[in-house]
Amino acid sequence: MQHPFRTRLEQRRVVLADGAMGTQLYERGVGTDRCFDAQNLEGPHLVEQIHRDDIRAGAEVIETNTFGANRYRLGTFGLEDRVREINQKGARIARGAREISGEAVFVAGSIGPTGRALQPFGHATAQDVYEAFREQVAGLLEGGVDLFILETFSDLLEIAEALRAVRDACDLPVVAQMTFAEDLRTPQGYSPEQVSELLTTLEVDVIGANCSVGSNTLLEVSQRLLAAGAPAVSAMPNAGWPTREGNRVIYLSSPEYMAEMARRMADEGVAMVGGCCGTTPLHIRVLRAALQVPAASRVEAIRAPEPEQEGGEAGNVSELASKLGTQRVLSVEIRPPRGANPTKALEGARLLKDAGVDAVNVLDSAMSRVRMSALASSVLIKNRVGIETIVHFTTRDRNLMAIQSDLIGAHALGIRTVLALTGDPPSIGDYAQSKGVYDVDSIGLIRIIKMLNSGVDIGGNSVGAPTRFLVGCALNPTAEDLELELSRFRQKLEAGADFVMTQPVYDAELFKRVLDQTAPIDVPVIMGILPLQSFRHALFLHNELPGVKLTDAVLERMDRAGAEGIPEGIQIAEEMIATCGDATAGLYIVPSFGRYEAAAQLVSNLLIPV
C-alpha cells in the first residue's frame, strides 16, 4: 500500500508546510542562548502550542522541533547523551498537537546539518555524521513521524549521509532540501542541477530548497530544479532578510508578498511550499488562502599615495576630504568578486572613473556572503585604476587585535577612507554555523580609528606616525525603530565620524524630516540612491533587503511602468536627487546586479550642465 504522503503528492495540488519553529520560540521568550530543541523537554506545552497554531493556520505538514537535535549541536549545551530522548519527545509532541486539533496533518521529522565540516575541508568523517544522523533518525521513528524533512544543508556529501541513515532505518517518504545563496548555488558551490542529479539517485520523494535568501531566489532555484528533472520540488523560503531592531530580530517579507511568490511557485509546478526563518502562522494563513484561489492576475577618485618613507610621515590624506563640502561628491558601489579574479570589479571601477565618479565604495562581504577581502579589492582598484576607494570595514569578523592590525596594514597600502560598519550577522550568510566576533560595534570602530589617527592604539601604545583616515558612518532614514537609529547616529557623530552615507532613499519628505531631527549635522551627508530595474526588483528590495523601504507611490509607479522599468527607475532616482540634492553633500549610487553601465549613465546625466 502506498504511503499517504506519496498519494497526496500525486494529487498535483500544492502541499502546504508550516512556518519557523525557531522564530516562534524566540518570539515567545526562548532566547538564542538557549537550546531550542531542548524545549521538547523543558517547555513541551509551548512547542505543542506552536504546532497547533500552524495547524489552525492551514499547514498540512508540521515539522518536529528537532532541527539541531544531533549529538554535535546538542553537545554545545551538554545534551549529547539525550539525542534519542529529545527526538522521540519532539515527534510525540507534534503527534499530540495533531490529535488535539483533529486535523489530518503529516508529522515530519526535521533533521538539519551537524554543523561539522566533512573531510577534506574539516575533521568530521562521513561515518561520523552518518552515525549522528542514524541516532537522530532512531529517536524520530520511535516517536512516530510520518516522513522526514532534511533541511538547510549546504554540503551534498553531508545530506547524502543523512539520507543513507534514513534509508537504512525505514522506507518513509523523504523531502531533501538544500540552502542556496543569491548566486543560486549552495554555500559549498553546488548548482540546482547538481543537487537534482545527485539527490534523484538517492531515493528521495521531493528535492527542494529552504532558508536561503528569500522567496525571489527560491523561485529561481525551484525553476531550475524542475527543469533539471527533480521528481517533485519544494520551496520553504525565509520571510526575507533578517534585520535587528533594538534587541529583536525582524524579518522583512510581508505575508502578502510571500503568498504572491508562493502562487508563482505553484504555477511553475512546485509541489510543496512553506516557510523558514521569520515565517509565522499569519504567513501560513495567507499562503493557504492564496494557494486555494486561482491566480487570475498577479503583480506581474584617489591618486595613489606616495609610499611612506621608513620612519617618515604617514603619506597623503584622503582626496575625498578636500572635495566634501566644496562640490557634490559622487560615489558608486563596487562588489568584490566571489573568487580570485578581480576583472569585473576593475573594469567597473575604470568605467565609473571615466564617467566622472569621485570614489567607489567597496563592500565588505555584504549579507555575510563570502567575497574577496574588501581591503585587497580596494588596493587592487586604487593601484590599477587610480580612483579613490571608500572601504566598508565591519567588526563582524575581527576581534580588537585584528581590527587594529588590518587598519594599520590598510593605511600602509594607501587606503585612506573607511566606512565604519558593524556588519550583517553570519547567520544570514554562506556559513550560518560560523560566529560573529563583534568585540565592538560601528561606534567603537570609529573611536578606534580616531585613536590611530592620534598615533596610539586602544591600549594607549604608540603606533608611530599617526594614521590619516577619513572615517564615515551609516544612517538608515527608513529604520523601523527610528528613535534607536537616531540615538546610535548621534553616538557615531560624537565618536568622531567625518561624513555620513545613508541607505537608499525613496521618500524625500521622510528623508528631510530625518535630517531635521538630527540637525545640526556638522559633517557632510551623502545620500544613497539605488535605481530600480523593474516592479519585481522593487518588490524584492522592499520585502527582502534589510534597511530598504519603498513608498506605495514608488511601487505603484514601477508597477505601471511594466517593460519600461529601467527608465522609470532612473527617473525616480533623478527626481529624488533633484528634490533632496541641496540637503546633501553628495550621492552614493548602488547599481543593481553589478550593472555599472547603468550607474555610469546616471552619473553622466547628473554631470550634464543644466
**Look-up: residue for cell 550642465?**
609
Is the per-residue pLDDT at 197 higher than 50?
yes
Is the per-residue pLDDT at 574 higher than 50?
yes
Nearest CA to 605 out of 575, 563, 564 is that of 575
Is the per-residue pLDDT at 295 higher than 50?
no
d(CA 279, CA 262): 13
For residue 388, give the 3-state DSSP assignment: strand
Lowest-confidence pick of 28-37, 293-302, 417-426, 560-569: 293-302
Helix intervals (H) in 170-292? 192-200, 215-227, 255-268, 281-291
pLDDT digit string, tens, across residues 138-155: 999 999 999 999 999 999
Rounded to 5°, the CA angle 154-159-162 comes to 145
Is the per-residue pLDDT at 115 higher than 80?
yes
Q: What is the mean pLDDT of residues 68-85?
A: 96
**Look-up: residue for cell 515565517?**
279
Nearest CA to 257 out of 238, 271, 243 is that of 238
Per the document, the length of the chain is 610
CB atoms within 10 A of CB 434: 14
Q: What is the mean pLDDT of residues 367-379?
A: 90
Is the pLDDT higher at 296 or at 55? Answer: 55
**What are the counts of helices (DSSP H) followed by strands (DSSP E) for the chain?**
23, 18
Angle between helices 565-580 and 508-518 in degrees, nearest 10: 30
Per the rule left: phi > 0, alpha: psi between -120 and 50, beta: everything else, 589 is beta
Backbone φ and ψ for 290, nearest 5 degrees, come out as -65, -40
Averaged pLDDT score across all residues of the chain: 88
The pLDDT of residue 239: 83
Is the per-residue pLDDT at 609 higher than 60?
no
For residue 419, give the 3-state DSSP assignment: strand
The pLDDT of residue 498: 93
Question: Is-contact 93 65, C-beta < 8 A?
Answer: yes
d(CA 288, CA 568): 34
Rounded to 5°, the CA angle 593-596-599 comes to 105
Confidence class of residue 311 from pLDDT cuts 50, 70 and 90?
A: very low
Per the rule left: phi > 0, alpha: psi between -120 and 50, beta: everything else, 438 is left
Is the per-residue pLDDT at 192 higher than 80?
yes
Burial class (CB in 10 A: 0-12, 13-18, 19+), 518: middle
Q: Which domains are present in the chain?
A: 4-291 (3.20.20.330), 319-607 (3.20.20.220)
Question: Is-contact 41 86, C-beta < 8 A?
Answer: yes
The pLDDT of residue 301: 29
Backbone φ and ψ for 79, nearest 5 degrees, come out as -115, 20
Is the pLDDT higher at 213 or at 385? Answer: 385
Nearest CA to 243 out of 24, 430, 423, 30 is that of 423
Lowest-confidence pick of 27-31, 286-290, 417-421, 457-461: 457-461
For residue 114, give the 3-state DSSP assignment: coil
Cβ contacts of 301 within 8 Å, gap of 6 or more: 319, 353, 357, 358, 359, 386, 387, 388
Amino acid at 37: D
Is the per-residue pLDDT at 227 higher than 60?
yes
The pLDDT of residue 168: 95
Q: What is the mean pLDDT of residues 538-545?
A: 88
For residue 59, give the 3-state DSSP assignment: coil
pLDDT digit string, tens, across residues 464-506: 889 999 999 999 999 988 999 999 999 999 999 999 999 999 9
Question: Is-contact 409 436, C-beta < 8 A?
Answer: no
Is the per-residue pLDDT at 551 higher than 50?
yes
d(CA 262, CA 253): 12
Is the per-residue pLDDT at 305 higher than 60?
no
Q: What is the mean pLDDT of residues 333-338?
A: 93
The pLDDT of residue 413: 94
Is the per-residue pLDDT at 310 higher than 60?
no
How far is C-alpha 503 from the geometric centre of its chain's CA atoms? 16
The pLDDT of residue 430: 66
The pLDDT of residue 319: 85
Cis peptide before 520 (omega within 30 of 0): yes
The pLDDT of residue 315: 46
pTM to 2 decimal places: 0.69
Is the per-residue pLDDT at 324 higher than 60?
yes
Strand locations in 356-446 (E): 359-362, 388-394, 417-421
Amino acid at 27: E
Backbone φ and ψ for 153, nearest 5 degrees, come out as -85, 145
Radius of gyration for the alpha carbons in the chain, expressed in angstroms and rounded: 26
Q: What is the mean pLDDT of residues 289-301?
A: 46
Q: What is the mean pLDDT of residues 238-243?
A: 67
The pLDDT of residue 247: 52
Lowest-confidence pick of 73-77, 244-248, 500-504, 589-593: 244-248
d(CA 401, CA 53): 47
**All cell numbers assigned to 513:** 524630516
**All cell numbers assigned to 470:** 577619513
Lowest-confidence pick of 308-312, 473-477, 596-600: 308-312
Q: Are β-strands 499-504 and 147-153 bridged in parallel, bridged antiparallel, or unpaired?
A: unpaired
Lowest-confidence pick of 328-332, 455-459, 531-535: 455-459
- Can you name the residues that pair with 263 across neighbouring β-strands? none
Is the per-residue pLDDT at 224 higher than 90?
yes
Cis peptide before 120 (omega within 30 of 0): yes
Lowest-confidence pick of 74-88, 346-360, 449-463: 449-463
Is the per-residue pLDDT at 306 higher than 60?
no
d(CA 334, CA 590): 8
